[in-house]
Structure 1
Amino acid sequence: MLQLLDENIWTVAGPQVRVLGFGYPTQTVVVRLKDGDLFIWSPTQLTPELKTAVDALGPVRWLVSPTAMHNLFLGEWQAAYPDARLYAPPGLRQRRPDLAFNGDLQDGPGHPWSDEIDQVHVTGNRIAVEVVFFHRASRTALFADLIQQLDPASLKGWRALIARLDLMTGDAPQTPRKFRLAFTDRKAARAALARITAWPTRRVLMAHAPPVLEDGQAFLTRTFAWLRG
């Protein structure tokens, strides 16, 4: 259930999502803004228990998906919170025409939460544009798919081999090989990375990896050294 990370920011582990037989952990982050409204990052499965816990924190106002691939549970959150506003990253409107979006995630400020949460588009990748967020008060960066780490014990046979070759089962979270190869505009990606690594990050929360709770800025610098080379 909800785990308090710092003042006004919580995490919750969702169910594993299977893609081509690979089990991916899921995680949602809940931020309570200064006005009391809740910002929900990468909504995971909304169980009755989770809804009760979220409702106790405040009104759900903003629902955001960090990439077009993080869309599986958006419909149930929108149904449960019809007054919340759903924002789409690049590509999600086309992937989910069944959802009613209220806005698009742009690069940089200009959003209702921008006084408290920064965001950067990491572009130039054929797989997806990822919107990386930074909660200033807790110094927490939020990553969806650009950094991953799967439990090797959860994989067997050819899937274990593929995951290892894809750099998803190493000793530390890192960028999967398929994402590295999918960057066609590294200049744009490096420009985005420069903005991200300038944040005074303490923690890094990832949808598909264990959290990094200290020295987050140094972790991000190390993790993306391959892109700067």
Structure 2
Amino acid sequence: MPAILKEFGPDIWIADGPIVTAGGGFHYPTRMVVIRLVDGSLFLWSPTQVSDGLRTEIDILGNVRYLIPPNSLHHVFLGDWQRTYPSAKAYAPPGLIQKRGDIRFDGNLDDTAQKDWAGEIDLVVMPGNLITTEVVFFHQKSRTVLFTDLIQHFKPDWFRGWRALIARLDLMVGPEPSVPRKFRVAFTNRRAARTSVQHILDWPAEKVLMAHGDPINENGQAFIARAFLWLTRD
């Protein structure tokens, strides 16, 4: 049986999960990221569906210490992971504590939480979006930036019928991953968003991972600059 976890760089792995259905019947692929910290513990970003095979591979890598939902939309499987690893800490992005009262959160995703993995993973909060407030991460060792929904990319034939038309109009389908139009117009505070993007562009990024789209394997910093040109050129 092929491995579920795929190495993406030094101490970072990805696992593609099941397809989930969102509002309007749009189907989305899912992806999680596993990062091994210097002390051997594991940081699980956007955990997807739990399976015996995935658990076995993760347990071989180390002890799960952090469960990280990166925005208020990526939380469906979080409770299952917390029951599987009850000693792991869960940190909440803005808006999720109110949404998931059944989850035990150990804190918020902010500068205080970052002290737990200081020097290894950096984070930036993208504020002022009416859809969700996303937290963007940077794994220093692999020089990888982690986006969740702010950057997406689907194959031209992924959606059918009227959904395919909506996807094209929303910029979900194109020559390379981009920020969907609905997220662009949902930013109510573009000045704050630009400040966050400038922080992200200061990272020496080589690679970019996203929950919905193929990874960017080189020239990540230049790619991010192109993806947010609509915002930074204002």
User: Partner residue of 1:82?
Assistant: 86
1:108 to partner: Cα distance:
7.6
User: Partner residue of 2:204?
Assistant: 200
Cα distance in 2 for residues equivalent to 1:73 and 1:214 = 31
Cα distance in 1 for residues equivalent to 2:86 and 2:230 = 42
User: Are residue 138 (structure 1) and residue 133 (structure 2) matched?
Assistant: no
Partner of 2:75, secondary structure, is coil
User: Partner residue of 2:41?
Assistant: 37
Contact 1:43 1:73 in 2 (8 A): yes
Partner of 1:82, secondary structure, is coil
Partner of 2:138, secondary structure, is strand
Q: List alignment gaps of at least 5 residues for structure 1.
A: none
Q: How many residues align?
A: 229
Partner of 2:18, secondary structure, is coil
Among 12, 15, 18, the alignment partner of 1:15 is 18
Cα distance in 2 for residues equivalent to 1:130 and 1:154 = 24
User: Partner residue of 2:157?
Assistant: 153
| Pairing 1:1-229 to 2, within 5 Å after superposition | 1-19=4-22, 20-107=24-111, 110-229=114-233
Q: Percent identity?
A: 54
Cα distance in 1 for residues equivalent to 2:111 and 2:220 = 22
Partner of 2:124, secondary structure, is strand
Q: List alignment gaps of at least 5 residues for structure 2.
A: none
CA RMSD of aligned residues (A): 1.1
Distance 1:215-1:108 versus aligned 2 partners, 3 A rule: farther
Cα distance in 2 for residues equivalent to 1:224 and 1:148 = 12
Cα distance in 2 for residues equivalent to 1:59 and 1:172 = 36
Distance 1:49-1:21 versus aligned 2 partners, 3 A rule: same
Deviations 1:57-78 (A, max 9, x none): 0000000011010001101100
1:178 to partner: Cα distance:
0.2
Contact 1:65 1:89 in 2 (8 A): yes
Contact 1:109 1:119 in 2 (8 A): no
Distance 1:129-1:71 versus aligned 2 partners, 3 A rule: same
Cα distance in 1 for residues equivalent to 2:58 and 2:197 = 32
TM-score for both structures, normalised by structure 2: 0.95
Contact 1:144 1:206 in 2 (8 A): yes
Cα distance in 2 for residues equivalent to 1:127 and 1:65 = 15
Contact 1:108 1:118 in 2 (8 A): no
